[in-house]
Structure 1
Amino acid sequence: MEQIEVGGGSSRNRAARLDTLPEDCISMVVSHTSPRDACVVASVSKTVKSAAESDLVWEKFLPQDYSSLVPLRSLDFSSKKEMYLSLADDSVLIDDGKKSFWLEKGSGKRCYMLSAMDLKITWSDCPAYWQWNTVPESKFKRVAELRDVCWFEIRGKISCEMLSKGTHYSVYLVFKRAGGRSYGFEDTPMEAQVGFVGKDAASKKFVVLEPIDMDQPSGYRYTSVSLTWVSREDRTRRLREVGGNVEEPKVRVDGWSEVNLGRFTLTMVVMMMMRLSFLLWRLSREIGRVL
């Protein structure tokens, strides 16, 4: 049986060999690479480009259950590649609007965002502490706005069957200030845990929801019930108590902020739990809206 040589020789020679294969054979080879590789190899020749952009290739890069994720939108696409790029460029709402789903463009790995409606937020059913609002800049129907709490705890979980196996994932909390001021978070590092249900946390770290400004002068910080003096020494002490390694939030291109809560590697199908437990040292008001 005649065999095809894959390795060896220059890249130009290998491209020439690929170009001599039947188009459906080229498509089969390219479908075992990645979306990024398929776009690169498409520049070899017209024949390879036609094969690399075929539905045979790009259907392999789409999730197996993509028809249940985009049943209505699929009618608007002229090719599987166009559908793939749409899912990579713009997320779609799933699970009755409680989650959004998209694909990482270069690899095709699954990504999700859980709305506040899909999270377990302590005291979220108490209007004195949390309010549920609709804001035009959010993709979800409702967002949770923090009003006034002394214990801030958010938990979320997602089935690992929904994620891509053998993949390194990072977990982020996405939020925005509801007003011009927030109190209680700028000087208080808080513990975030990411892990698997029934197992020790895969990641533990400390985060803040306000950027740390060590040059900020000492002074009074208002809370809902008191006026507290915060010194640079106190701020330094709190950072030292947690090891000084604290994750700070970053502003996204859409105007919301995000803070990295931790990472995990998906090597088996189990239930994942994201836990963000904050015990504040004093009451806080209007930290912002949680997606």
Structure 2
Amino acid sequence: MATRLNMLPEDCVSTILSLTSPADACRLMLTSSSLRSAAASDLVWSKFLPYDLPCILSRTHSQQLFSSKKELYLQLCNSVLIDGGMRSFSINKMSGRKSFVLSARALSISFSEEPKHWTWTTCSASRFSEVIELKTASSIQIEGRINTQDLSPNTIYGAYLIIHVSDRAFGLDSIASEISVSKDECSVSNTAYLCPLDERKQLLESLLFTNRRRMMEKLVVEGEGRRPSKREDGWMEIELGEFFVGQKNEEVQMQLMEVKGHQLKGGLTIEGIEVRPKC
């Protein structure tokens, strides 16, 4: 392919590459030094940037400085704060599809302003100025909302609750929580535990909560009992569900809610909910 492209004018090569993908353009830059200029041109990378980029940049927390569209693209592969620091925005390096993280402040969290239950605090590991930490509560309800017009069309998205569980956490693994993602009248539910699987802890809690757990399982919708998994940024995440973004603008509701268990719990820190492409 590179040999044939070498026979064309540079602007023609750039036009052709703009119809491919960021991954294709990067591969060509590595395989052919003679085509590197065409593959790095603004004509190519402006096509890979989101069509509504001017609107997104107007919402950024700080000004983006760049000398080329390719440099801007690579900057946006790392998250940038928008909406007064309430959200972060990034694009997938390989596809250019958009991702957002809704901070804890952008979520609806039951009793979040009651200091005996939750406390707002700072965390050096977070991209946001504040995270929220659960001190003690008998129930948890977390909800986030996003409009599909902010996302990349014709894309399957996943919604992920970003958390940290302290060594002193308690009550988070005794009862499953109900998780759901809803769009218009379509809603998909599942169940999840807020603690990663710990065989020792699981054995102890099974002795203490066996009867209670069996009773509560009847109240929880059937599901796979998802567990948190580690992220590259040091946090953990629970997938709340997935949804498809078409051409129509719709509001997506993402939720985690403990069913009627009233088990005291604490030691959970919430950074936010990430909405990112699954493919």
TM-score range, shorter chain: 0.7 to 0.9
Give the distance between the partners of 2:99 and 2:144, measured in 1 at CA.
15
State yes or no: 1:148 paired with 2:136: yes
Contact kept, 8 Å, 2:137 with 2:266, in 1: the verdict is no
Shift of 1:65: 3.3
2:25 to 38, 42, 45: 38
Amino acid of the structure 2 residue aligned with 1:83: L
Contact kept, 8 Å, 1:101 with 1:113, in 2: the verdict is yes
Name the structure 2 match of 1:5: none
Superposed counterparts of 1:225-236, under 5 Å = 229-231=208-210
Name the structure 2 match of 1:204: 189
Larger radius of gyration: 1
The CA RMSD measured in Å over matched residues stands at 2.5
Superposed counterparts of 1:60-139, under 5 Å = 60-70=47-57, 73-75=63-65, 77-88=66-77, 90-139=78-127
Superposed counterparts of 1:232-243, under 5 Å = 243=222
Amino acid of the structure 2 residue aligned with 1:209: L
Give the distance between the partners of 1:15 and 1:160, measured in 2 at CA.
38
Contact kept, 8 Å, 1:93 with 1:99, in 2: the verdict is yes
Q: Secondary structure at the match of 1:85?
A: helix
State yes or no: 1:277 paired with 2:257: yes
Give the distance between the partners of 2:68 and 2:76, measured in 1 at CA.
13
Q: Which structure has more RCO (C-alpha within 8 Å, separation ≥ 6)?
A: 2
Shift of 1:263: 0.8
Shift of 1:257: 1.0
Listed one character per residue, the Cα deviations across residues 99-157 of structure 1 (whole Å, up to 9, x for unaligned) are 00001110000000000100011111211111111222211111111112222111110
2:244 to 253, 262, 265: 265
User: CA 1:50–1:220 in structure 2 vs 1: closer, same or farther (change >3 Å)?
Assistant: closer
Listed one character per residue, the Cα deviations across residues 42-70 of structure 1 (whole Å, up to 9, x for unaligned) are 34533422111101100111123334444
Amino acid of the structure 2 residue aligned with 1:86: Q
Contact kept, 8 Å, 1:172 with 1:259, in 2: the verdict is yes
Contact kept, 8 Å, 1:184 with 1:282, in 2: the verdict is no
Shift of 1:97: 0.5
- What runs of 5+ residues in structure 1 fail to find an aligned partner? 1-13, 222-227
Contact kept, 8 Å, 2:149 with 2:250, in 1: the verdict is yes
Contact kept, 8 Å, 1:189 with 1:242, in 2: the verdict is no
Contact kept, 8 Å, 1:171 with 1:260, in 2: the verdict is yes
Give the distance between the partners of 2:216 and 2:139, measured in 1 at CA.
18
Contact kept, 8 Å, 2:86 with 2:105, in 1: the verdict is yes
Q: Secondary structure at the match of 2:169?
A: coil
Q: TM-score, normalised by structure 1?
A: 0.82
Q: Percent identity?
A: 36
Name the structure 2 match of 1:224: none
Q: TM-score, normalised by structure 2?
A: 0.86
Name the structure 2 match of 1:225: none
Name the structure 2 match of 1:4: none
Greater CA drift, 240-249 or 273-282: 240-249
Name the structure 1 match of 2:269: 289
Give the distance between the partners of 2:214 and 2:234, measured in 1 at CA.
29
Q: Secondary structure at the match of 1:151?
A: coil
Shift of 1:37: 1.0
Listed one character per residue, the Cα deviations across residues 82-108 of structure 1 (whole Å, up to 9, x for unaligned) are 1111211x2000011000000111000
Contact kept, 8 Å, 1:148 with 1:283, in 2: the verdict is no
